[in-house]
Structure formats: structure tokens, C-alpha cells
């Protein structure tokens, strides 16, 4: 098995980074017309800077308002807009679902993709993976495309304007990176690109975890006060770049499969990807029989940044056995990443791990 490391072509991060968008595209040889797929916050925060930067670079563009869900229907609508405009590239601006949809369209049409997250809410911006949902918000499939984004541009001035909950969600997603990476590497499992992990990918995954523990709480305070600090810069990099490279080039395991299982319960749909992944991390550690000290560290971190550690915190306070069984069954569906664990994982095992993780979380919440 060959070792494979994947990454975007370029990564740019900093205050008012959007002002450099036109110049960065020109440097990469990407011209117009450009279709910008954008959520409402991206339009509000960045439209003036898009106009200045892209006009200066003589790049024409059109904005497509994102429909809210990275579903097949929305992907079809964006595809039609690209074809109507004759766009030469697709830019996704906003949260993870916007970027995932833009990536899927660009891949289908074999066009360059540019990723401009306005939140640090997930590790979607750097990867070549789109998560496809139904229109109702239930996980459907992972769509792995041929190329990572040509450019990832992260404007910290926009990120700091986003609700603090989104940064917390990004930390939940990033929290899984190290634990899933080490499981996949130890089991010699193929990564998301079909190859073995590299030492650099594992090192980035571990650095991601250490950065979360060191800077997570301070970065959250920065966003709550809308101040750009070194701690916030480091957490944005961890949530976006370190987690993106770490998961894609090392692999996913139980934590993300539990997230996918949780989407089978409609009451979890209002909760964010990273919030559900964080509970998936706790469930994975229970499933693997991780040391109590390690689980305690994860619980303490989650508490410090407001990540959910109980089923009640995900809207499942009175979930019956049938609901939990449906979650567990979805988590172990054929092809799920939970089967990268080094032992056979069944629905009854996951059901018990969910309940045990919930009990640990409740005990921590009561302290």
C-alpha cells in the first residue's frame, strides 16, 4: 500500500484575507467568470471585499445564494447556475455545507474549487470530501472527489464575527482527528485517499489535539468578545488546516460514524456537525476501552468549551431503546468508518457504548 498525503494547493489565513483573493486567484492562473456559492453571512460580511478585490484583478463573478443543505437537489441547482454563467471556477464561501456543495459541483464539472470559510466550524475547507445529506438533513453519503481545493482562504476578520457556537463546533470536529487517526494508523487502515498514512499526517493530527487543549478556551473567549488573538489564530488553523489534513490523510473511525448514526434521530438535526462528532469521540473512547485518565481529559476539554457530552445535550434526553438502536444500527451500516476499528463492531456494542458515554457525561455534568 502506497502512502498518500493530500492537501489543498495553497492555504492563506489572516485578518482581512479576502482583500488578497483576487491576487491569489491571479497568481494561480484562475480567472473569471467565477461563481461564488455563498451563505447569508458570507454575503453580508464579504460582498464589498469581493467586489474590490475581484474587480482589481479583473475577475468577473456571480453570487449564488446557498439553499441551506448540501443535498443532491442543491448541488443540481448550483450546477445549473455554473453552466448558465459559463463559470471557469467555483468558490464556496460560508460554512461547511456551503463549501461541500461547491466542492461537489466543481468536481462534477472538472473545475477549480476555491474554499473561503467564514467560520471555523469544521475541517471541510481543506479536504476533497463532501458530506451529502438528504433535504431533511439526514446523512446520506461521503463524496470523495479527485482534487483538493486549489486555494483555501480564511479571513479571520469574518470568522471572529460568527457565533461562538460555530467555533466550538469546529473544535468538536477537530477533537476527533487525533483519536481517529491513531486508530486507523495502528490498524494499517487506508486513509480517505486510499493509501497509508504518513508520519507527517499523524504528527499534524496530534498537533491538532494538543492545540485544542492548550488554546481552545482562550480562543472561545476571543470570539465571544470579537477580538482576534494568537490563541484564536491557532485554533482556526487547528480546526481548518490541521484537522483537514489530519483526517483526510490518516482516516476516520468510530467518532464520525456515531455522528452519522445520530442523524438518524430527527431531534439531533438542529445540532451542528462538530457537536455530534464530539459525542462520537467520547463514544469511540468508551468503545475502544481507552484509559480513564484520557477520557477525563476529553470530558474536561468539552466542558471548558461547551461541547455536548450527554445525549440530553443533543436533544435526546428521553431517548428510548428503539431510538438508540436506530442510531447504533445506522452507525454500523456497511461501508461506515466505524469498521476501521481494530475489532468487529456491532450495533449492540455501539448501543452500550452510547449509553456508557452518556453516563460518563452526566456524571461530569453533575460535578
- Displacement of CA 118 from its chain's centroid (Å): 13
Q: How far is CA 306 from CA 243, 254, 286, 318, 321, in A?
A: 19, 22, 20, 21, 27
Number of residues written out for the chain: 367
H helical segments located in 86-155: 96-108
Decide: residue 73, CB within 10 A, 0-12 exposed, 13-18 middle, 19+ buried. exposed
Number of H helices, E strands in the chain: 14, 8
Residues 6 or more apart from 322 whose CB is under 8 A from it? Answer: none
Confirm if 190 and 251 have CB atoms less than 8 A apart. Answer: yes
Catalytic center residues: 173, 256, 259, 273
Segment holding 133, helix H or strand E: strand 129-133
Amino acid at each position: 500500500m502506497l502512502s498518500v498525503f493530500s492537501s489543498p494547493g495553497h492555504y492563506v489565513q489572516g485578518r482581512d484575507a479576502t482583500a488578497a483573493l483576487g491576487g491569489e486567484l491571479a497568481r494561480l492562473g484562475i480567472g473569471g467568470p467565477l461563481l461564488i456559492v455563498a451563505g447569508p453571512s458570507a454575503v453580508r460580511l464579504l460582498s464589498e471585499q469581493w467586489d474590490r478585490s475581484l474587480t482589481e484583478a479583473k475577475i468577473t463573478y456571480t453570487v449564488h445564494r446557498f439553499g441551506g443543505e448540501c443535498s443532491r437537489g442543491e448541488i443540481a441547482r448550483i450546477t445549473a447556475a455554473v453552466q448558465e454563467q459559463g463559470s471557469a471556477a467555483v468558490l464556496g464561501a460560508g460554512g461547511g455545507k456551503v463549501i461541500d456543495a461547491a466542492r461537489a459541483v466543481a468536481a462534477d464539472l472538472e473545475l477549480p474549487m476555491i474554499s473561503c470559510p467564514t467560520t471555523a466550524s469544521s475541517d471541510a475547507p481543506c479536504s476533497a470530501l463532501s458530506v451529502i445529506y438528504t433535504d431533511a438533513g439526514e446523512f446520506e453519503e461521503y463524496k470523495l472527489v479527485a482534487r483538493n481545493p486549489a486555494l483555501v482562504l480564511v479571513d479571520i476578520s469574518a470568522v471572529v464575527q460568527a457565533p461562538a457556537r460555530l467555533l466550538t463546533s469546529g473544535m468538536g470536529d477537530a477533537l476527533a482527528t487525533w483519536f481517529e487517526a491513531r486508530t486507523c494508523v495502528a490498524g494499517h487502515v487506508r486513509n480517505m485517499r486510499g493509501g497509508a498514512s504518513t508520519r507527517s499526517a499523524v504528527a499534524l493530527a496530534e498537533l491538532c489535539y494538543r492545540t485544542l487543549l492548550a488554546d481552545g478556551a482562550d480562543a472561545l473567549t476571543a470570539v465571544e468578545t470579537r477580538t482576534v488573538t494568537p490563541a484564536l489564530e491557532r485554533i482556526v488553523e487547528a480546526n481548518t488546516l490541521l484537522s483537514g489534513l489530519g483526517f483526510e490523510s490518516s482516516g476516520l473511525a468510530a467518532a464520525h460514524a456515531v455522528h452519522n448514526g445520530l442523524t438518524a434521530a430527527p431531534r439531533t438535526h438542529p445540532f451542528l456537525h462538530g457537536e455530534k462528532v464530539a459525542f462520537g469521540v467520547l463514544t469511540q473512547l468508551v468503545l475502544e476501552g481507552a484509559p480513564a485518565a484520557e477520557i477525563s481529559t476529553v470530558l474536561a476539554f468539552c466542558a471548558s468549551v461547551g461541547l455536548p457530552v450527554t445525549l440530553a445535550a443533543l436533544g435526546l434526553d428521553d431517548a428510548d431503546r428503539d431510538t438508540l438502536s436506530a442510531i447504533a444500527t445506522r452507525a454500523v451500516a456497511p461501508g461506515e468508518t466505524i469498521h476501521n476499528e481494530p475489532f468487529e463492531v456491532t450495533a449492540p456494542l455501539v448501543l452500550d457504548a452510547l449509553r456508557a458515554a452518556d453516563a460518563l457525561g452526566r456524571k461530569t455534568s453533575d460535578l
